[in-house]
Amino acid sequence: MATPVRRALLSVSDKSDLVPFAKGLREMGVHLLSTGGTYAKLSEAGLEVTEVSEHTGFPEMMDGRVKTLHPTIHGGILARRDLDTHVKAMEDHSIGPIDLVVVNLYPFEATVAKEGVTWTEAVEQIDIGGPSMVRSAAKNHVAVGIVTDPCDYENVLQEMKANAGALSDPLRYKLALKAFALTTNYDANIFRWLRENCEHSEASAFPEHFSISGKRVSELRYGENPHQSAAFYTTADTGEASVGTAEVLNGKALSYNNLVDIDAALALAKEFAEPFVCVIKHTNPCGAAIGETMLEAMEAAWSGDPVSAFGSVLAMTRPLNMKIAKFLVDGKRFVEAIIAPSFDADAFELLTTGPKWGKNVRLLACGEFGPSGRVQADVEVKKIIGGFLLQDRDLEAEQAGDMKVVTEAQPDQAQLDELAFAQTIAKHVKSNAIVLTGNRTVYGVGAGQMSRVDSVRMAVLKAGDRAKGSVMASDAFFPFPDGVEVGMEGGVVAVVEPGGSMRDDQVIEVCNQAKVPMVFTGIRHFRH
């Protein structure tokens, strides 16, 4: 049977439920050791507690940087009770065993998330003694309990009461795993922040070792398909609006596919400072538009492909107002989720009480955002079997002034602006990507086809009559003239593509013969 807990060391930054937990330990005769603010909190509550400096015979120093880094502490935690040599070392050096360690760490992540935090303030929140005690206790979990989360306090007390003051092997093992997960995440957040903020770092360089760590927000009903298990984790807050930091205001639990689509929708919306709405289906925009008002943008975006818009996800750059809510509810339009900076009170009420809406539609408020709020230092990670890939985020967005006219026909300013809009949308479409637009509205999208000409055919088909007079954007160069020819046959009047094909001259000649202006951007936007 496990040894009862006789001495516990408590040193916590998060003091939630600390006093009731400590009282429960004292009622079972546990001797309490503590430090700093934790000691003060327990003493004020009238609990009998010994300060660590008294226990070690060595004072705190260096503004608290050195207090628990002492053999009396770590020897008491790390000693193996089943080895005579360890027991004798404890006796020879008057080291008392510590059977329970209750530690949570300095709030480094919360500190660096504050606006205007200084380098010194951030560095002082890098905990040293805390992780050392956590790791020591977790390593010796066969004899020592390590509690890093106030949510575990009640479970620990209940088990001690049921087992004559002892903790079971399964619980100590579970707590140890949780402890190592905590220190892993903590160190990963510190590494990430230092790399992104140190003046000596090369932000574009990829380090020899890279760690990514997250906190589980929820277990999902299933993954992409019902036979796959899944969970949602959030990483450190970069200060950028995201699905991970958005507040879920209403609706059924978010699914794996919901989260992927919402992320894609928000990424596209972040490209625009204007009133903008996008309609996302299976991570691709089936509709998107800029409007003078948000209602205009909403109506135009929905017109892109009303059939595909059924069961879609929406993102918008302004708060969702009553006019948009009426457009959706009164029009009996069904969407899975909406993410917006916020929701007007009357619009929120209508969306959450309207027929077939109510508690079903997921509504997420992410706060204000825009192109300037994106964090370049945040990398993209793609998992593959046996490893993962890192890359810089694709935050390039070609404006009209960045485009090079390569045809005899010259686009006017209105066409250049429209081409820039179409190219920005194409950047968020799965390759091979073709987008037809007009009046800052998506008319047709061809996505994910194995040949570019088939993507053009699909985009023209989706656009229907609106293909006539539209502009066409391609995420990569046209390898042959056929793609441009199919677009022009459908009514395309201007084309934007990166250029760079060995047959660029043939593609340009086709446009020259048709007197259709073409511009090159020099930047490819593949999205696999």
For the chain, the domains span: 7-197, 239-373, 400-520
Catalytic residue among 15, 23, 86, 139: 139
239-373, what's its fold? Cytidine Deaminase; domain 2 (3.40.140)
* Residue 93 neighbours by CB under 8 Å, 6+ apart: 71, 72, 75
- 227 falls in which pLDDT band (50, 70, 90)? very high
pLDDT tens-digit readout, 183-224: 888 888 888 777 777 665 555 567 777 778 788 889 999 999
Looking at residue 93, its pLDDT comes to: 84
Burial of 148 (0-12, 13-18, 19+ CB in 10 A): buried
CA-wise closest residue to 20 among 150, 144, 210, 168: 150
In this structure, of 65-69, 297-301, 380-384, 464-468, the range with the lowest mean pLDDT score is 65-69
Looking at residue 272, its pLDDT comes to: 97
pLDDT higher than 70, residue 446: yes
Dist CA 121 CA 301 (whole Å): 46
Task: Read off the tokens for 307.
Answer: 């059939």
The better pLDDT of the pair 111, 349 is held by 349
How does strand 404-405 pair with strand 518-520?
Answer: antiparallel
Dist CA 310 CA 289 (whole Å): 17
pLDDT higher than 70, residue 505: yes
Terminal CA-CA length for the chain = 56
pLDDT tens-digit readout, 245-261: 999 999 999 999 999 99
432 contacts 475 by C-beta, under 8 angstroms: yes
- To 10 degrees, what angle do helices 18-27 and 36-44 make? 70
How does strand 362-365 pair with strand 335-340?
Answer: parallel
pLDDT higher than 90, residue 53: no
**CATH number, domain 400-520:** 3.40.140.20
**Most confident among 77-91, 143-157, 303-317, 394-408 (mean pLDDT):** 303-317
Burial of 116 (0-12, 13-18, 19+ CB in 10 A): exposed
How many other C-beta atoms can be found within 10 angstroms of the C-beta atom of residue 90? 17
220 contacts 156 by C-beta, under 8 angstroms: no
Cα dihedral 423, 426, 428, 433, rounded to 10, equals: -150
Dist CA 315 CA 405 (whole Å): 33
pLDDT higher than 70, residue 44: yes
Looking at residue 200, its pLDDT comes to: 59
Over residues 457-479, mean pLDDT = 96
CA-wise closest residue to 38 among 142, 163, 123, 133: 133
Taking CA 298 as the corner, what is the angle to CA 293 and CA 303, rounded to the nearest 5 degrees?
130
Looking at residue 202, its pLDDT comes to: 58
Lookup result for tokens 């404006």: 399
Dist CA 331 CA 357 (whole Å): 12
CA-wise closest residue to 127 among 167, 78, 182: 182
Dist CA 75 CA 84 (whole Å): 14
Looking at residue 448, its pLDDT comes to: 92
Specify whether 282 is catalytic: yes
Over residues 430-448, mean pLDDT = 96
Q: Where are the alpha helices (DSSP H) in 355-503?
A: 413-426, 452-463, 482-490
DSSP states of 174-216: HHHHHHHHHHHHHHHHHHHHHHHH-TTS-TTSPPSS-----EE
492 contacts 472 by C-beta, under 8 angstroms: yes
Over residues 420-435, mean pLDDT = 96
- 263 falls in which pLDDT band (50, 70, 90)? very high
Fold equal for 239-373 and 400-520: yes
The better pLDDT of the pair 510, 69 is held by 510
Catalytic residue among 86, 282, 323, 468: 282
Q: Percent of the chain having pLDDT more than 90?
A: 55
Output the CA–CA distances (angstroms, integers) from residue 12 to 33, 183, 290, 474, in the order listed. Answer: 12, 14, 50, 55
- 365 falls in which pLDDT band (50, 70, 90)? very high
DSSP states of 54-84: HHHT---BTTTTBSS-SHHHHHHHH--TT-H
Dist CA 362 CA 315 (whole Å): 12
Give the CA count within 13 Å in the CB-facing half-sphere of 450: 0
Dist CA 255 CA 503 (whole Å): 44
Dist CA 453 CA 436 (whole Å): 14
Tell me what the pLDDT averaged over the chain comes to.
Answer: 89
pLDDT higher than 90, residue 64: no
Q: Where are the alpha helices (DSSP H) in 198-293?
A: 256-269
Over residues 407-426, mean pLDDT = 96
Coil vs helix vs strand at 278? strand
In this structure, of 58-62, 209-213, 223-227, 425-429, the range with the lowest mean pLDDT score is 58-62
* Rama region for 46: left / alpha / beta (φ>0; ψ in -120 to 50; rest): left
CA-wise closest residue to 30 among 160, 155, 140, 175: 160
Looking at residue 316, its pLDDT comes to: 98
Over residues 277-301, mean pLDDT = 97
- 89 falls in which pLDDT band (50, 70, 90)? confident
- 61 falls in which pLDDT band (50, 70, 90)? low
Looking at residue 203, its pLDDT comes to: 52
Type of residue numbered 412 = D
7-197, what's its fold? Rossmann fold (3.40.50)
Dist CA 431 CA 420 (whole Å): 18
Kindly calculate the radius of gyration of the chain based on its CA atoms and give it in whole angstroms.
Answer: 30
In this structure, of 50-59, 97-106, 195-204, 393-402, the range with the lowest mean pLDDT score is 195-204
Q: What is the DSSP letter of 96?
A: P
Looking at residue 480, its pLDDT comes to: 95
Specify whether 139 is catalytic: yes
Task: Read off the tokens for 333.
Answer: 């339009």
